Copies of this chain bind each other. A is one copy, B any other.
Amino acid sequence: MDNKPIILVGNDDGIEARGLKSLIEFLAPMGELYVAAPATHQSAKSSSLTMDTPLRVDRLDDYMGARMFRINGTPVDCTKMALNRLLPRRPDLIVAGINHGANSGSNVIYSGTMGVVFEGCLAGIPSIGFSLLDYRPDADFSACRPIVEQITADVLANGLPTDVCLNVNIPAGTDIKGIKVCRAAHGTWTEEFEQRTDPFGRNYYWITGSYSNTEPDSIDTDLYYLEHGFASVVPCRPDQTALDAIALLASRL
């Protein structure tokens, strides 16, 4: 029992999210779980931190043996708080999710789920994010179980390369064809800001839009494999330096 790995679990959909509960159920047999999750929905919070308001921590009832901490902050606030204040020691693994909806292509940059994962990676802890391509509140997470188990067990046993973390996306439905390790597709949002008028005659805007793969003919990307029924695993680095551009720019500046 004392030798069980400590796994820190987080998410961005909030501590009440069904995807988080499913993740806890899948991981409970694999380690001693600590959950640090936002009090409210925190989608598209990226790696943002709360600087202007103080944070509060509430211990909730355990769930499936997991110690549950609710924090009124962003996903990354929760991770930092857990690492610094809540855990008995440095965790062996950080897992975020299961996100209600895709974090594929270039959307990683907006993702609060991946914010947690990059935070773990920056702290030198093996970290994995899981997302299901199903936004519905009643999404069925059960088919994610073997994917979550296989990848988590592999990372607990073998670790990850230095400064590398994993972004896993899982197609909706039960007919998952397998796992493909690949790169993130390049894509773009076509945004629309829907304009409305409030009861006082002032305009306001809601962001809407659609995401499209700008390299639909590439057969080595996460979007390609997800469209073809596979779970995608994209190894990621927090460091965004474009090493191959240094020499050219140095010759100009």
CA distance A112 to B246 in the complex (A): 23
Does A182 sit within 8 A of B, measured CB to CB? yes
Does A85 sit within 8 A of B, measured CB to CB? yes
**Main SS class of interface, A:** mixed
Q: Closest CB of chain B to A119's CB: distance in Å? A: 8
Q: Which residues of B contact A245 (CB under 8 A)?
A: 160-161, 164, 235
How many A residues are at the interface, by size bracket?
35 or more
Instruction: Please state the number of chain copies in the assembly.
Output: 2
Cβ contact of A206, chosen from B54, B85, B122, B241, cutoff 8 A:
B54
- CB-nearest residue of chain B relative to A157? B252
> Judging by beta carbons under 8 Å apart, are B193 and A81 in contact?
yes
Instruction: List residues of A (55-106) whose CB comes within 8 Å of B's CBs.
Output: 55-57, 74, 76-77, 80-81, 83-85, 106
Q: Which residues of B contact A202 (CB under 8 A)?
A: 56
Residues of chain A touching chain B, judged by Cβ–Cβ distance below 8 Å, are: 41, 43-52, 54-57, 74, 76-77, 80-81, 83-85, 106, 108-110, 112, 115, 118, 122-124, 150-151, 154, 158, 160-161, 163-164, 166, 179-184, 186, 188, 191-193, 196, 202-207, 233-243, 245-246, 248-250, 252-253
